[in-house]
Amino acid sequence: MSFTSPFAASSSKAGHGSIVISVLPPDTPVLADLSYQYPLKLVAPEPLPPPQHREHGGTQPKLIHTVFLLTYGGGIVAGDTIDLSVCLDPNTRLVLLTQGSTKIFKTLDPGVLSKQHMTARITAGSALVYLPDPVQPFAETAFSQSQVYYLEGGEGSLCVCDWVTSGRSARGENWDIYEYRSRNEVWAVNGGADTSTQKRLLLRDNLILNGKGQTNMAFSERMDGYAVFGTLILRGPVFAALAQYFLDEFEALPRIGGRDWGDTAQRELSPHEQQRAQRQLREKADGLIWSAASVRGFTLVKFASRDVQGSRHWLRDMIRDEGTVATTFGHGAMLCLNS
Amino acid sequence: MTSTTNPQSLQDEIADLEQRLRDAKFRLQAQSQTPPTPSPPTLPPAHLHALLLLSDSALPLGSFAFSSGLESYLAHHKPSSNNTSTISAALSSFHTFLRLSLATLATTSLPYVLSAYRNPENLYNLDNDFDASTPCTVARRASIAQGRALMTVWERSFRAGHTSSNTLSTLQPNSNEHPADVEAIDVAINTLTTFSKSLRTHPDTTHAHYAPLWGLVTRILHLSAWDAGYLFLFSHARTVLSAAVRASVMGPYQAQAVLASVELQERIRGLVEEGWEVRVEDAGVCVPVMDLWVGRHERLYSRIFNS
């Protein structure tokens, strides 16, 4: 099946990269393009068949591709610009991973922004899982990233996470940054090649930590003592069950400020309820708070915790306990949550 | 008869003459220098009346039902022990919250107010984009409830006086308004009319968010863009403070003192300045955890507010 990429042909510009998954007739997904320029590096292991051949209306692709996003030196140096384009043909799957947190190195000039930009084109029946390690901006850094997803006809499935930490907490760094921005946008596009003709904004999640706001408060105070903040965006048929799981678990959270008056009879807990109770205990111990909301066809999950591992383990537990990601994409898709 | 007059009556006569002399001098001065009373300004400021209308806490927007996350924030920041410092702890929590809440509103919503004010014809896009940018259901609900209330106020109370900007021009024949302003107000009125129709016909794609509608209505009511932005933030501060009074964080005089403070004035002014040229595409949250507090309002055991 031929598909014209809506993006400019990959040039030799520094930091540019491109990933295209197409379908070789009749139904074999192939990595049609994998190109990158310093300081970006992309590594694609052999694609694997999905662990469980559950029929999703007969459209389950035969192979799942995985690509690691790496940078030379393991991080982004002041002034670096990374620009990645991802294109998924109908009925393809891609898992995007990182190897360790995306470190943002110190800049001498607060005005010099390092940038990371990704556009992903998703089509009907295709699905993207992007569960990276968190971004870790060191002290005295200025970083701006954006992830823009174009859903053709508003279709396709997404499970993408964007999370950021307070820096190198072992060195006492606590949001000692100059600036941090992260933008997640999802657009519905119609009409194929030209994205500018007909597009409608479905979701915009824009986080800006800079000097504005007239708060006279340090970032650490603005973050209310949390060392991690993250957003998980879920959409589409592939992740419908996972999205519902988050909503149900949010609904099942104990009421804030509620008390046990001792007038509810203790009953036998089901295995799922026991699992839930244990997870809620861990949430409390890790100082993790979260919320889930269903809005405009998305399920949006926000979370924050006192340290990185708290969020990492919580996310892993939630996604593992529900099971969709592991059975449809393999355990490897959760690699960044297991460390 | 005339020889003996007592000194007292002479003194009285002198005092009387002196008084008459002062009166006469004063009258002479008044006649030659200033007009008897200052004449009213040639242009009755239409925007002053509108400003008073919109800043009135009796404006039926139902704002009193929302605490904009204050209730949830306080529940998340309960001091661990029940001692005498509880009240002062709640008070300092409140001041932090007010700062964070104003900053959040200024970075997320103010650009939409100003953009709708400047480009009223773009209301549909702004409404959709604001909806897409407000992923927190509790905040969305509050924004839509107040936006729809503002639509109702417009339709039932304001519209009659503003069917077209021409009405106002005839009221003020010597109005020196710029023709472009007159045209923009016409556009705003027409947009609002069709928007209120599509609110009924396409309730799934038309949301009626508060911020862009505020921009439009203030434009129609002849407020300046600056006043529109300032009043938007000021009303929010007032709403949060009134919620604090009802949540027993502080008393009404204390709340009024905060509202009247120079510090709050300077903060609001600074926020309008910062947001003056921010494009709506660049609007975003500057206090990420705010979404969590507002979003978790639904999980409170007991609630007195809707948000």
Asked whether the beta carbons of residue A295 and residue B137 sit closer than 8 angstroms, the reply is yes
Q: Are the C-beta atoms of A41 and A31 separated by less than 8 Å?
A: no
- Give the CATH superfamily of B54-299: Urease accessory protein UreF (1.10.4190.10)
Q: DSSP assignment, residue B94?
A: H
Give chain A's domain count. 1
Tell whether A252 is covered by a domain.
no
Q: How far apart are CA B284 and CA B292, in angstroms?
A: 15
Q: Are the C-beta atoms of B166 and B233 separated by less than 8 Å?
A: no
Q: Are the C-beta atoms of A94 and A69 separated by less than 8 Å?
A: no
Q: Which among B132, B282, B292 has the least Cβ separation from residue A201?
A: B132
Tell whether A227 is covered by a domain.
yes
Q: How far apart are CA A174 and CA A169, in angstroms?
A: 6
* Chain A residues touching B78 at Cβ < 8 A: 257
Q: Which among B106, B133, B288 has the least Cβ separation from residue A229?
A: B288
Q: Name the residue in chain B with its Cα closest to that of A302.
A: B292
DSSP percent split of chain A into helix, strand, coil, nearest 5 = 20, 40, 40
By percentage, how much of chain B surpasses pLDDT 70?
A: 88
In chain B, what is the straight-line distance between the N-terminal and C-terminal CA atoms, in Å?
93
- Check CB contact of B78 with chain A, cutoff 8 Å: yes
- Give the residue among B35, B61, B92, B49 at the shortest CA–CA distance from B249: B92
Q: Tell me the average pLDDT across A43-67.
A: 80
Residue B145's beta-bridge partner residues?
none
| Residue range B116-142, pLDDT digits in tens | 999 999 999 999 999 999 988 889 999
| Residue range B1-60, pLDDT digits in tens | 455 678 889 999 999 999 999 999 998 888 777 655 666 656 656 778 889 999 988 888
Q: How is chain B split into domains, by residue range?
A: 54-299
- Give the residue among A104, A294, A107 at the shortest CA–CA distance from A182: A104
| Residue range A185-235, pLDDT digits in tens | 999 998 655 555 688 999 999 999 998 888 889 999 999 999 999 999 999
- Check CB contact of B222 with chain A, cutoff 8 Å: no
Q: How far apart are CA B107 and CA B114, in angstroms?
A: 12
Calculate ∠ Cα A323-A324-A330, nearest 5°: 85
The pLDDT tens digits along chain B (307 residues) read 455 678 889 999 999 999 999 999 998 888 777 655 666 656 656 778 889 999 988 888 888 888 888 888 988 887 665 555 677 888 888 999 999 999 999 999 999 999 999 999 999 999 999 999 998 888 999 999 999 999 999 999 988 887 655 555 444 444 556 777 888 898 999 999 999 999 889 888 899 999 999 999 999 999 999 999 999 999 999 999 999 999 889 999 999 999 999 999 999 999 999 999 999 999 999 999 999 998 888 888 778 887 7
Q: Are the C-beta atoms of B212 and B116 separated by less than 8 Å?
A: yes
Tell whether A95 is covered by a domain.
yes
Radius of gyration of chain A (CA): 21
Q: How far apart are CA A130 and CA A161, in angstroms?
A: 6
By percentage, how much of chain A surpasses pLDDT 70?
A: 90
Instruction: Report residue B54: phi and psi, to 5°.
Output: -75, -25
- Give the residue among A44, A37, A111, A114 at the shortest CA–CA distance from A75: A114
Q: Which among B271, B288, B301 has the least Cβ separation from residue A255?
A: B301
Tell whether A151 is covered by a domain.
yes
Q: Which among B75, B100, B271 has the least Cβ separation from residue A222?
A: B100
Residue A120's beta-bridge partner residues?
A86, A149
Q: What is the ipTM of this complex?
A: 0.89
Residue of B296, B303, B305, B307 to mutate when probing chain A, most A C-beta within 10 A: B296
Residue whose tokens read 């990276």: A132
What is the reported pTM?
0.87
State the residue range of the domain holding A124: 16-233
Q: Are the C-beta atoms of A66 and A99 separated by less than 8 Å?
A: no
- Number of cross-chain residue pairs from A and B with Cβ atoms under 8 Å apart: 119
Structure tokens at A226: 């949390």
Tell whether A264 is covered by a domain.
no
- Check CB contact of B136 with chain A, cutoff 8 Å: yes
